[in-house]
Structure 1
Amino acid sequence: MRSFFKIFFACLLALVIFSLVAFFVGAGIIGRALQPDKPEVGSKAVLVIDLGSPIMEQTKESPIAELAGKEDANALGLYDLVRMISYAKKDSAIKGIVLKAGYNVNGFATNEELREAIVDFKKSKKFVIAYGEYMTQKSYYVSTAADKIYCHPQGHIEWDGFTSNLFFIKGLLDKLEIQPEIFYAGKFKSATEPLRATEMTEPNRLQTTVWLNDLYSHLLLTTSEARNIDTATLHALANNGTIQSPADALNNKLIDGLRYDDEWKAEVAKNLGEKADAKINFISASKYNKAADYKKDGKNKIALIYAQGEIVSGKGESGQIASDEFKNLIRKARTDDGIKAIVFRVNSPGGSALASDIIWREISMARKVKPVVVSMGDLAASGGYYISCNADSVFADYTTITGSIGVFTIVANMQSFFKNKLGITFDRVKTAPYADMGSSDRPLSDAEKKFMQASVDSIYYTFKSRVADGRKKDIVFVDSIAQGRVWTGTRATGIGLVDRIGTLQQAVDCAARMAKVTDYRTREYPEQKNLWEQLFGSSSSSDVKEKVVKEEIGETQYNLLKKLKKVQTLFDIPQTRMPFDAEIH
């Protein structure tokens, strides 16, 4: 009888699994059959680009949302968005672009490449109108590429200058009697400051002042050229707090008018040769992306590998640069004879020193076989620079944050916390003096502290050597520009950390020239997950949990929680990470 039930339930389980697979496969087939491959753009279409939508490096497809009929199912990646705008420039169905300029969550370099694409689009003589109800400075920066900038009469436009806020928890650790024992190399290596100080150290204040003013100068210069206002006047507007209302922005020529929703749409209709109240054929970027045929098709392939997120050892999670995954991706591109060159797109604040070296090694191996070009996004700092420095050519945007060549490691001494706060004590037996080195229930001995610092110094020397070899620089010179210091793309070009300022598309073009191919297409990695992987993969459950928590406690509290959680990842493992998550407003 027991055997019967075993067989029965095994068959029942198999039937359920088969039914589920058949259901999802069938749903996918039916969904694709019901939906046309390419949506109709229609006539006199106006492309809408929402600056409030997060723009990742790589397009994230969502077959589940597509099956549900959601129009904006796929989150567009920057490279696809830029190429799509270029295609729209020549598409007779697209008559203009509207920028929804509200709160902009994207990084400076991302906005820079998007703005360049808008400027290029305008060469077609098609109109570009930007409109916002609450326009942040990053949204305004992109909007300066438009022919006209409008704001809601009762809205708001930020023009206050930039600030960088850092998050310090030393006071909290002191109250809890937790003593982090910190070892670092590089006087500017400020990633550990939140744990060992209550405010910025002078070296960090200096470097932050320099790179933040570089970003601000880029905003001033770009706005000056676009709006025909000298930079001194723009600077004074921020210093004096002049822009307190949309009317102030209009009076000082930052914008072209105050418009309600119906009024700016009436102007769009006029540009289309229609009546003011005519229905406008607005098309979202996500929908147009399905209709636009902008991707090259060629015999040869150029691998485009997107490395976005923190660098971690092993398998990692979604949104991380995991050493196991990326060493295999780079190796796959290296050994594929059909791939003639590799473009490595890096957008990372760094992370594990060991994982960075594993990825560096694969880049070095690939470079011996075929051209390797690095394109830096918003961040390519510390470990992000480690994995970039050995390419044949390195591209960055003006506002890319890079450098931060330095190392640190942290060991948590929680003895007092356990004893005085929790009433917990520890004891042990060991067979060698250092068998328990790094245990969180006791402080390090003087000898152990020397071991830890020696390890950090050794990794720092290796890091500098990698940079010196890859950039063909003397290691003494590398040390002078290293020390954990952060640089913008502009300054990194001047000191040789970067070869040239350029977009991802220009990096792809460079790789093609180096490989001496004209007939090519890009092959993107990591490859998109299919329906089954998205339904049952580990990333899908983590995405759901993140969404639930964020909705429950709010965006601000969720970001604070993430920062506290991230502190845990900094302990015990040598890190090549940029300064601790500076928030720029």
Structure 2
Amino acid sequence: MIGFIGALSSEQETVIAENSVLHLNLDAQITEQQVDNPFEGLPVLGGEVASVGLIELKEALRKAKDDTKIKGIYLTVSYPMTGFATLEEIRMSLIDFKSSGKWVVAYGDMMSEAAYYLASAADKVYMNPQGDVEWNGLAIEVSFFKRMFEKLEIKPQVFRVGEFKSAVEPFMLDKMSNENRLQLTETINSIYDYVVTQVATARGIDKAKLREMSDKMLVRNAKQAVEYGLIDSLLYDDQLTAELKNRLALADDADIKFVKLNKYRKSYTTYKAAKSEIAVIVGDGEIMPGKGSDGIIGGDKFAEQVRKARENDKVKAIVIRVNSPGGSFQASDIMWREITLAAQIKPVIASMGDYAASGGYYMAMGCDTIVAQPHTITGSIGIFSVLFDASDLMTNKLGITTEQVKTGEFGEMITISRGLTDNEKAVWQRKTEEGYEVFTSKAAEGRNMDVEELKKVASGRVWTGTQAKERGLVDVLGGFDDAINLAAEAAGVSDDYKVKYYPQKQPFFQELMLQLEENSKVNALQKELGMFYPYYLQLQRVQHYNGTQARLPFELSIH
């Protein structure tokens, strides 16, 4: 076993053959940074789901653009697992790759709307004759927890401020309010308008016609997709192979030299000799206090990374890469403090991913310049406080009762074992209102706006990147590369700099050992709690919302 692991973890130099094709399979979980997994694709623990790091993918496309051995890209995509802002980053890199005169061919047995949006950047889009392509518009799905709480006998105690009420709807309702439905309708139409505009440009189809095709779902099978111009041709695998061989000027009996992304990444070095450094500090996931982990931005650890970049004389500028729906208000404020201190010394640019909402926006608002994609979900400037009274769950389902002795009028202010008194509720409401004033005043300062003007676009309201720019919450519509260029220009190092990413990812096997340790703890808990373990999981999830939160007010899924 040790020899097997050693063989998997050993690095081998990869030599790319002449006349090769870079094969990108983007039916994967696309995250900000990649954890190299030698088990990927194997039926073993940790190998089931393919993953692609956005930063590493963009870097590979930059290298392939100038690599004379790479003649083109073969893109296979049906159901990419990511948001539209991330897809836009990849589209922009594919378009940049094509500017070298090289080609991109996309193929899918099926294509979701997201997959087709990505594929539309290719020179040619092909599909299996019995395939299907979605072109019927986007939808936003919001999860509501009211009935779950009722079944679990948990009572949410909610404190809010501002005119916009959707921030707590998932805890109190089982469907959208009219106001929230209007907001989300505007949001999804803003995103889709940009999608349709880009596809119209890429495919040479009139925008109004594309919208009609979508609204009326005129494309319902692969043949119609060709008739309406979404797909170039319907090809079986052998026909696609012949098409690629023709592009490569290969004989019929020759083999195509495909190079997969992970293998191609081992063919070059990312090292660059430069005196100046631009530090990219990546925040990907929910915001929590402490050190964080994969999918969790630890406020303390992130702040430490910003502080180190500020104190490092080699670092001439900082890019804060944010992909977060928010989370803990205090952790967000801790990171904001370090970001504003850094901005006093050197340029700090914010680059927004799929989400930079509430606590995610809190991170960005202290930067000199904010760059967002048109599809980015941002804003949600507001906070709410939630405490959950789980006393009935504990008593009726778990058989646990509690009793409290206190020295004064107020008991423990964060507790799930009892409901709050009226006086304690009043304290929480004041605390929430004070937090909202802190958030909005700091946002107004960061954006050079009057506080009252800022509040008109705050109150928890969600905006797309396009809408946010129109309202002064974002400076530039663009991607990660634009943020890097802005940072280099602001620091005066455009001619000579290297980019370094923080925090540095842990080696896969270190992550695997931690996961195995965590799994052993989970197994022990399952045995101990038995049939009550699902209730424990729900309780753990609820506790993430306990206290004052600066987070996107709903779990939002766009598809």
Shift of 1:544: 9.8
Structure 1 counterpart of 2:234: 258
SS of the equivalent of 2:384 reads: strand
CA drift of 1:394 comes to 1.0
Go from structure 1 to structure 2 and tell me whether the alpha carbon gap of 1:125 and 1:436 turns closer, same or farther (over 3 Å shift): closer
Identity %: 40
Which region of structure 1 is more displaced relative to structure 2, 217-226 or 353-362? 217-226
Contact kept? 1:54, 1:105, Cα under 8 Å? yes
Decide whether the 8 Å contact of 1:108 with 1:138 is kept in 2: yes
Following the alignment from structure 1 to structure 2, what is the Cα–Cα distance between the partners of residues 431 and 72?
54
Equivalents in 2 of 1:568, 1:332: separation in Å? 34
Report the Cα offset of residue 248 of structure 1: 1.3
Please, which moves more after superposition, 571-580 or 54-63?
A: 54-63
2:334 counterpart (354, 358, 363):
358
Q: 1:61 aligns with which of 26, 36, 51?
A: 36
Cα–Cα, structure 1 residues 348 and 565, in superposed 2: closer, same or farther, change >3 Å?
A: farther
**Out of 31, 41, 48, which is 2:10 matched to?**
31
Structure number with bigger Rg: 1
Residues of 1 paired with 2:401 and 2:212: CA distance? 60
- Of the three residues 108, 113, 122, the one matched with 1:132 is 108
Q: Which moved more, 1:186-195 or 1:229-238?
A: 186-195
Decide whether aligned partners of structure 1 residues 457 and 55 sit closer, same or farther in structure 2, where only a CA change above 3 A counts: same
1:343 and 1:543 map into 2 onto residues whose CA distance is 35
| Of 516, 522, 527, the match for 2:504 | 527
Does residue 476 (structure 1) correspond to residue 448 (structure 2)? The answer is no
Aligned residues: 544
Distance 1:284 1:30, change over 3 A: closer
In 2, are the aligned partners of 1:300 and 1:520 still within 8 Å (CA)? Answer: yes
| Partner of residue 48 from structure 1, selected from 16, 23, 28 | 23
Q: Which amino acid aligns with 2:354?
A: D
Corresponding residue of 1:389: 365
Give the secondary-structure state (helix, strand or coil) at the position aligned to 1:378.
Answer: strand
1:572 aligns with 2:546: yes
1:307-326 mapped onto 2 (5 Å cutoff): 307-326=283-302
Between stretches 91-100 and 348-357, larger displacement belongs to: 91-100
Stretches of structure 2 that go unaligned for 5 or more consecutive residues are: 523-533
RMSD, aligned α-carbons: 3.0
| Deviation, structure 1 residue 126 | 1.6
CA contact (8 A) 1:315 1:322 kept: yes
Q: For 1:299-310, list aligned pairs within 5 A.
A: 299-310=275-286
| Structure 1 residue 570: Cα displacement | 3.8
Q: Which moved more, 1:239-248 or 1:149-158?
A: 239-248
Aligned-partner Cα distance in 2 for 1:312–1:506: 28
Deviations 1:265-304 (A, max 9, x none): 1101000111345310111111112214565431111111
Q: Take 1:544 and 1:150, find their aligned partners in 2: how far apart are those partners? A: 46
Q: CA deviation at 1:423?
A: 6.4
Match of 2:354 among 378, 382, 398: 378
Provide the C-alpha distance between the structure 2 equivalents of 1:140 and 1:544, rounded to a whole number of angstroms: 41
Q: State the partner residue of 1:142.
A: 118
Distance 1:418 1:72 in 2: 36
Cα distance in structure 1, aligned partners of 2:141 and 2:328:
24
Residue 485 of structure 1 pairs with residue 461 of structure 2 = yes
Q: Go from structure 1 to structure 2 and tell me whether the alpha carbon gap of 1:304 and 1:139 turns closer, same or farther (over 3 Å shift).
A: same
Q: Which amino acid is 1:165 matched to?
A: E
Once the two structures are overlaid, the 10-residue window that deviates more, 237-246 or 498-507, is: 237-246
| CA displacement 1:199-230 (0-9 Å, x = unmatched) | 11222112111111111111111111112222
- Which letter does structure 1 place at the counterpart of 2:324? S
Query: 1:452 Cα shift?
Result: 0.8
Contact 1:305/1:525 (<8 A) preserved: yes
Cα distance between partner residues in 2 of 1:43 and 1:94: 7
| Pairing 1:103-118 to 2, within 5 Å after superposition | 103-118=79-94
Q: 1:73 to 1:95 in 2, by over 3 A?
A: farther
Over residues 280-332 of structure 1, what are the superposed CA-to-partner deviations in whole Å (9 max), with x where a residue is unaligned? 01111111122145654311111111110111001233321101211111111
Partner residue, 1:434: 410
Using structure 1 for the length normalisation, give the TM-score: 0.86
Shift of 1:65: 7.5
> Quick one: which amino acid aligns to residue 575 of structure 1?
Q
* Equivalent residues in 2 for 1:490-505, closer than 5 Å: 490-505=466-481
Q: Which amino acid aligns with 1:53?
A: A
Residue 425 (structure 1) shift:
4.8
Aligned partner of residue 371 in structure 2, secondary structure: strand
Deviation of 1:413 (Å)? 2.2
Look up the match of 2:148. Answer: 172
Q: Give the distance between the partners of 2:179 and 2:354, measured in 1 at CA.
A: 23
Deviation at 1:352, TM superposition (A): 0.1
1:234 pairs with one of 197, 210, 219: 210
Does the CA-based 8 Å contact 1:267-1:276 persist in structure 2? no
Task: Please tell me whether the aligned partners of residues 415 and 442 of structure 1 are also in contact (alpha carbons under 8 angstroms).
Answer: yes
What SS does the corresponding residue of 1:55 show, helix, strand or coil?
Answer: strand
Task: Note the 1:151-162 alignment, pairs <5 A.
Answer: 151-162=127-138
String of CA shifts for 1:531-572, please: whole Å, max 9, x gaps: 773454x356458999xxxxxxxxxxxxx9999577413443
Q: Secondary structure at the match of 2:330?
A: helix
Q: Aligned partners of 1:566, 1:265: CA distance in 2, in Å?
A: 51
Structure 1 residues without counterparts, runs of 5 or longer = 1-19, 547-559
Report the more deviating stretch, 384-393 or 405-414: 405-414
CA contact (8 A) 1:186 1:407 kept: no
Q: CA deviation at 1:421?
A: 5.6
Aligned match for 1:461, one of 431, 437, 460:
437
Mapped to 1, the partners of 2:333 and 2:360 lie a distance apart of: 11
Structure 2 counterpart of 1:341, from 295, 307, 317: 317
SS in 1 for 2:89: helix
Q: What secondary structure, in the 3-state scheme, does the structure 2 residue paired with 1:412 have?
A: strand
Are the aligned partners of 2:319 and 2:349 in contact in 1 as well (CA < 8 Å)? yes
Give, in whole Å, the separation in 2 of the partners of 1:196 and 1:328: 37
Structure 1 residues 507 and 544: CA distance shift in structure 2, 3 A: farther
> 1:99 and 2:75 equivalent?
yes
Quick one: structure 1 residues 509 and 297, their matched pair in 2 at CA, closer, same or farther if it must change by over 3 Å?
farther
Residues 365, 443 of structure 2: 8 Å contact kept: yes
State whether structure 2 residue 492 is matched by structure 1 residue 513.
no
Q: Which residue of 2 aligns with 1:186?
A: 162
Cα distance per residue 1:404-461 (max 9 Å; x no partner): 0011111112344455566665443322111244443433222222111111111111
Corresponding residue number in structure 2 for 1:11: none
Task: Indicate the residue corresponding to 1:12 in structure 2.
Answer: none
Deviations 1:449-503 (A, max 9, x none): 2111111111111010111111111100110000101111111111111110121
Please state whether the residue corresponding to 1:328 is helix, strand or coil: helix
Report the Cα distance in structure 2 between the residues aligned to 1:122 and 1:58, rounded to whole angstroms.
24
By how many angstroms is 1:136 displaced? 0.6
In structure 2, C-alpha distance between the alignment counterparts of 1:462 and 1:412, rounded to whole Å: 24
Amino acid at match of 1:520: Y
Asked if structure 2 preserves the Cα contact closer than 8 Å seen for 1:72 and 1:286, the reply is no
Deviation at 1:48?
1.1
CA contact (8 A) 1:72 1:287 kept: no
Given the superposition, is the C-alpha separation of residues 515 and 401 from structure 1 closer, same or farther in structure 2, using an over 3 Å criterion? same
8 Å contact from structure 2 (residues 28, 49) kept in 1: no
What is the TM-score with the length of structure 2 in the denominator?
Answer: 0.90
421 and 318 in structure 1: CA distance in 2 versus 1, 3 angstrom threshold: closer
**Partner in structure 1 of residue 530 of structure 2:** none
**SS of equivalent to 2:242:** helix
Change (3 A) 1:497 1:225: same
